[in-house]
Amino acid sequence: MPAAASLRLFGLDYSTHEIGGSLIVHADCFEWMGRIPEASVHAIVTDPPYGVKEYDFDQINKRTNGRGGIWRIPPSFDGHQRAPLPRFTALNDRERATLRRFFVEWARLALRVLRPGGHLFLASNAFLSQFVFSALAEGGLEFRGEIIRLVRTLRGGDRPKNAEEEFPGVSSMPRGRYEPWGLFRRPMPVAMKVSDCLRAHQTGGLRRRSNGLPFEDVIESERTSRAERSLADHPSLKPQSFLRQLVHAALPLGTGIILDPFMGSGSTIAAAAALGLASVGVERNPDYFKMAKEAILPLSQRPVQQEPRLLSSAQHITPSPTAGR
Ligand SMILES: C[S@@+](CC[C@H](N)C(=O)[O-])C[C@H]1O[C@@H](n2cnc3c(N)ncnc32)[C@H](O)[C@@H]1O
C-alpha cells in the first residue's frame, strides 16, 4: 500500500481528509482529474450521476423540498412511503446530448489518470446505460462488458399512469431486477500482453475471487441495508457486500490505488478500506463530503457475508481447474 505521504499528493490544494489508507478530497472531479499526475491510479470504481443533472444543487434542493425537478416518489405498492428516485424517462433530447458530452469529456479524463490497462467499473441503470456506455467508448475507453448486479429495484412495473383501473393487466415497463455496471479499461499499449501489463503497471486483468475462481459478471446482490443507510443517508448509497467484490476485482495484484471520483458518502472508499486497499475519493457537494468523513470508517467496519479475502500472489497465479480448456 502506498504510504500516506504519497496519497497526500492527490490532495493538491483542496480540502482533504485522511481515513486509514484513504484520502478524500472536496473538489469537482472534472477539474481535479485534469490536475493530478497522469497515469497515477490503477482502477476507478464509481457511481456517477448517470442522468447528469440529478445531483445538480438546484435538483437536490427540489428533492429536499419535495417539489418539482427530476426526483419523484415512486408509486407505493405496499402502503409504505418510498424515498424519491430520479425519473430518467423525463430527460429530453437536449438533456441526452448534454449527458453524452458529460461522459465523453469525463472518459477522456479517466483515460488521462488511469494507468495503461487500468479498469473502470461504472454504475448505470437499464434505461440510460446505452447512452452512457457508448459515450465512454467514444471518449477512448475500451468496453470490456457489463457487470449485472441482480437486485430488486423499485423502478418500473407500474400500470399506465392515470389509467390503472382501465388497464389493470398492463405495466408500462418491466419492474427492474438488475443494475448494469459498465466495465471498461484504458487500452493497453499496442501488442502488450496482459502478463506484460501486470508486470509493468500492475493492471490489465481482474483479481480472482478468494476461492481462486474468476470474478464473474453476474453478482447476486441486495438492496442497501437499513444499518448501512443509518450510517450514511445518501440517496444513492450502494451496499458494502457488493462494492467489496468490485474493489477486490479491480486491483489484479491487490496493490495500487482505487479512485472514486463521484464518491457521495464514501461507500467505495469504505469497501476499499475494509479490504486494506488504498483509495482516493472525490466529492463536490460539501454536505456529502462531510457525510463521507463520518461514514467511511463505520461502513468499512460493517461485517458482510462472503467477505472477499486478499490472496497472496502465489495463490493468485495458481491455475484454475478449467485453465486450458
Ligand atoms: C450517484 S452519487 C454516488 C453515491 C455513492 N455511490 C454512495 O454510495 O454514497 C453521485 C455523487 O457524485 C457527486 N458529483 C456529481 N458531480 C460531481 C463532480 N463533478 N465532481 C465530484 N462529485 C460530483 C454528487 O454530489 C453525488 O454525491
Mean pLDDT for 131-142 is 97
Q: Residue 265: CB within 6 Å of ligand 1? A: yes
The tens digit of pLDDT for each residue in 29-48 reads: 999 999 999 999 999 999 99
The tens digit of pLDDT for each residue in 143-187 reads: 999 999 999 887 889 999 999 999 999 999 999 999 999 999 999
More confident residue, 203 or 161: 203
Q: What is the pLDDT of residue 322?
A: 37
Q: Residue 127: CB within 6 Å of ligand 1? A: no
Query: What is the CA(263)–ligand 1 centre distance, in A?
Result: 5
Q: What is the pLDDT of residue 89?
A: 63
Which atom of ligand 1 is nearest to 285's Cα? Answer: 25
Say if CB 247 and CB 226 are below 8 A apart. Answer: no
Q: Residue 267: CB within 6 Å of ligand 1? A: yes
Q: Which of 55, 233, 290, 299 to mutate to test the pocket of ligand 1 (most atoms within 8 A of CB)?
A: 55
Measured by CA distance, the residue closest to atom 7 of ligand 1 is: 237
CB neighbours (10 Å) of residue 165? 7
More confident residue, 49 or 59: 49
205 vs 72, 141, 185, CA distance in Å? 40, 15, 9
Query: What is the CA(124)–ligand 1 centre distance, in A?
Result: 13
Written as one letter, the residue type at 119 is H
Residue 319 pLDDT more than 80? no
Which atom of ligand 1 is nearest to 282's Cα? Answer: 21
Q: Residue 106: CB within 6 Å of ligand 1? A: no
Residue 20 binned pLDDT confidence (cut-offs 50, 70, 90): confident
Of the listed ranges 135-149, 239-253, 297-311, the least confidently predicted one is 297-311
The tens digit of pLDDT for each residue in 216-230 reads: 999 999 999 999 999
Mean pLDDT for 107-134 is 96
Distance in angstroms between the alpha carbons of the first and the last residue of the chain:
35
In whole angstroms, give the CA distance from residue 27 to residue 29: 6
Residue 90 binned pLDDT confidence (cut-offs 50, 70, 90): low
Of the listed ranges 83-87, 167-171, 254-258, the least confidently predicted one is 83-87
Predicted TM-score (pTM) of this structure: 0.89
Tell me the residue ranges of DSSP E strands in the chain.
15-19, 22-26, 41-46, 71-72, 85-86, 114-123, 142-150, 178-185, 218-220, 257-260, 278-283
Query: What is the CA(194)–ligand 1 centre distance, in A?
Result: 32
